[in-house]
Amino acid sequence: MKLKGILLCVATLSMAGCGGGGGGGDGTDTDHKASSSVTRLSSPYLPAEQGAVWRYTVKDSGENLSLSSSAIKQANGKETVDLTWDHSGYRQTLRYQGNTLSIEHLHFDKVTVNNTDYKVDMDLSTAPALLLPEFSVITPEGGINSRQQMQVTISPDAGSTYGEYSLSWSYKGIETIETPAGRYEALHVQYSLNLDVFVALPDDAYQSDSPQGDGTFRTQVPVLQDLWFSPGIGIVKISDSSARIYSPVVAELADFNRYRDNVGNLTNMPDSTAIPADSPWKNIRQAYKLDQLYGNWESAYHCNPAETQSPSFQLSLTETNYTLTTRLTDNENCSGDYWNDYVESGTYILRGFDPQDAGFLLLDLIPSSSTRQEYRFGHLLYETPDWGQTRFISLAPMADKTARLGIDEIPNLPNLATRLYAELTAVEKEPKDTETLNSTALVYFQIEDENYQMLPEEAHAGWGMQVWNDATCDAIMDSQLSTISWEQPLQPAGFDPLLGLYFELQIKENNTGCANVIFHKGEEKSVEQNQTIDLNARYFYQAKYGAQGITSN
């Protein structure tokens, strides 16, 4: 026996024969006859049953291949079926359990080497290899799982054998496939099984086959296939690169003898099919329950005196877009008066369940805009571009309109050692003011001494701002003006130690872009004449009152 020849031959058996064929014909009828009782695999994308045969035509060569189904076995909540390529004897045992289709066994019934026939069996049942899940997101590169143990049997006996395998799997999307049988909408998946087979050879034999010279022979057997699954039919196209990576064997469906209608009666196979519109593959966000996270969310600020800043978050999520605001609030005195917002907006890709956190969905953020905004006392002072990098966030819906956010990267906090979690609460958008509030303008006023230094807060006490509309400047909402008079001017909203008193003006829609104001304390005015301020200033308007009169930016 030449062991290397056996295992290398195994690598070519999945689509192309090697040193002998299988057990002959499939032994099934090709007539479309009704059956009173049929046990059928429950998978909508692989309707296998005893007697089912899929016939394929190989592109370029015109060779005909057939794939036959065994009877369905049911036990312990799972269904299994054997699918055999009749030309080579290569057989897969597939498991359907929990709406997932997996590979449980690989059987090579006839491997002929040096005029001797061998059988090779690889048992993956302790950790079946994924073939088709209930649903999946599109993954450009499939993840590779950890190495799994498998049992390997070669008969006649080739010595003590064992094996390991790793799986790379990815979903490529829904595609319409043209075959000799018709035109079918199908799920395109790709999988690669890297099978490692180890055989402990006798001490006095085959030492030249052992790369280590220790009597252990190891070889890798690749199985690399692209499969297209169509509902009610099964696999309508196969591209097998196991033996030839750059020139795969491509087989397209020519006939399927067990197509059934909606009530289970055998009928002629249609020349076209479509995946149902309500399929989880077409409603992928709903299937993952991402739609439960659409809306507006925010987390609360929690002061941590041990840290300079504490993060909180605001998230707006739709079916296609997101806006994420990461707020870093200064923890000095835990007043929450000063913070920076890092605001990014764009599109995102759902990557499926987060492998790091059970129950969390992984979103790949693709920002199209990103800014840093500096706030003092709730008012925007500065805004600068701050392009964020594409990053991942994880989300999990919780009860009572809450959710959890997991994040690994926060702007301006580069030393985040572990994933940070935040509790999110749903936020309902407030209705617009009945007068249609357009925006809020921020106006600063400070009093300076002869050295142009701002006086302390107590020196600003008693100062207010008179505001009014006229034909030239008509911008302030009537609801705010009704509370303002000379005797009761608009009061400051607060005092900023850097910029002075600040006032808020409520600007209505369709405004003229300017406002009439006078800063005064009783009868004392900052300047004698009235002032007109530009409401189109980017962030705020600032007025200064001192020895040299008043200046503004």
Contacting residues for 301 by C-beta, under 8 A, at least 6 apart: 310, 312, 327, 329, 336
The answer to whether residue 534 sits within a structural domain is yes
Q: Is the dihedral of CA 348, 350, 351, 354 positive or negative?
A: positive
Q: Which of 405, 426, 447 is the last residue of a domain?
A: 426
Q: Which of 382, 400, 426 is the last residue of a domain?
A: 426
> Which range marks the domain in which residue 442 is found?
437-552
In this predicted structure, what is the pLDDT of residue 38? 45
The answer to whether residue 55 sits within a structural domain is yes
Contact 391, 409 (CB under 8 A): yes
The answer to whether residue 283 sits within a structural domain is no
Q: Is the dihedral of CA 471, 476, 478, 480 positive or negative?
A: negative
When computed from its CA atoms, the radius of gyration of the chain, rounded to whole angstroms, is 36
Contacting residues for 424 by C-beta, under 8 A, at least 6 apart: 297, 298, 299, 313, 315, 402, 403, 404, 405
In this predicted structure, what is the pLDDT of residue 438? 76
DSSP string, 72-134: -EEETTEEEEEEEETTT-EEEEEEEETTEEEEEEEEEEEEEETTEEEEEEEE-TTSPEEEE-S
Which two three-digit tokens encode residue 295?
A: 């809306």
The answer to whether residue 432 sits within a structural domain is no
Query: Phi and psi of 400, rounded to 5°?
Result: 55, 45
In a shared domain, residues 416 and 443: no
In a shared domain, residues 396 and 446: no
The three-state secondary structure class of 186 is strand
Give the C-alpha separation, 128 to 41, whole Å. 17
In a shared domain, residues 466 and 399: no
Query: Phi and psi of 49, rounded to 5°?
Result: -160, 160
In a shared domain, residues 177 and 292: no
Does the bond joining 156 to the residue before it have cis omega, within 30 degrees of 0?
yes
In a shared domain, residues 371 and 297: yes
DSSP string, 403-446: EEEEES-BTTBTT--S-EEEEEEE-PPPPPPTT-EEEEEEEEEE
- Helix (DSSP H) and strand (DSSP E) numbers for the chain: 3, 34
Q: Which of 497, 493, 527, 530 is closest to 514 using CA atoms?
A: 530
195, 198, 199, 205: CA torsion to nearest 10: 110
Contact 485, 509 (CB under 8 A): no
In a shared domain, residues 95 and 160: yes
The three-state secondary structure class of 268 is coil
The pTM of this model reads 0.70
In a shared domain, residues 14 and 97: yes
Give the C-alpha separation, 200 to 135, whole Å. 41
DSSP state at residue 492: P
Q: Which of 343, 346, 351, 360 is closest to 292 using CA atoms?
A: 360
The answer to whether residue 280 sits within a structural domain is no
What is the number of structural domains in the chain? 3
CATH number at residue 469: 2.60.40.1110
In this predicted structure, what is the pLDDT of residue 217? 73
Bridge-based pairing of strands 500-508 and 437-447 is: antiparallel
241, 243, 244, 245: CA torsion to nearest 10: 50
Give the C-alpha separation, 51 to 44, whole Å. 17
Q: How far apart are the first and last CA of the chain?
A: 92
Does the bond joining 305 to the residue before it have cis omega, within 30 degrees of 0?
no
The answer to whether residue 279 sits within a structural domain is no
Contact 380, 409 (CB under 8 A): no
Query: Phi and psi of 350, rounded to 5°?
Result: -80, 120
As beta bridge partners, residue 251 has 58, 238
DSSP state at residue 28: -
The answer to whether residue 404 sits within a structural domain is yes
Contacting residues for 187 by C-beta, under 8 A, at least 6 apart: 45, 132, 171, 174, 228, 229, 230, 275, 281
The answer to whether residue 464 sits within a structural domain is yes
In a shared domain, residues 91 and 232: yes
In a shared domain, residues 112 and 213: yes
In a shared domain, residues 165 and 82: yes
In this predicted structure, what is the pLDDT of residue 418? 83
In a shared domain, residues 315 and 229: no
Which two three-digit tokens encode residue 213?
A: 């010279």
pLDDT in tens, the chain (553 residues): 344 444 444 444 455 545 444 444 443 443 434 333 348 999 999 999 999 999 999 998 889 999 999 999 999 889 999 999 887 778 999 999 999 999 999 988 766 655 667 788 999 999 999 999 999 998 765 566 678 999 998 888 767 888 899 999 999 999 999 999 999 999 999 999 988 888 776 555 444 444 545 567 777 788 899 999 999 999 999 999 887 667 888 999 999 999 999 899 999 999 999 999 999 999 898 999 999 999 999 999 999 998 888 999 999 999 888 999 999 999 988 888 889 999 998 888 898 999 889 899 999 998 888 888 888 887 778 888 876 666 889 999 998 889 999 998 887 776 667 888 999 999 986 655 556 777 888 888 999 888 888 999 988 988 999 898 887 788 899 889 888 887 788 999 989 888 889 899 998 888 888 888 888 888 788 877 778 888 876 656 676 666 444 444 3
In this predicted structure, what is the pLDDT of residue 136? 92
In a shared domain, residues 251 and 327: no
As beta bridge partners, residue 313 has 326
Q: Which of 393, 426, 459 is the last residue of a domain?
A: 426
Q: Which of 441, 440, 459 is closest to 545 using CA atoms?
A: 459
Q: Which of 528, 316, 299, 271 is closest to 420 using CA atoms?
A: 299
Give the C-alpha separation, 384 to 382, whole Å. 7
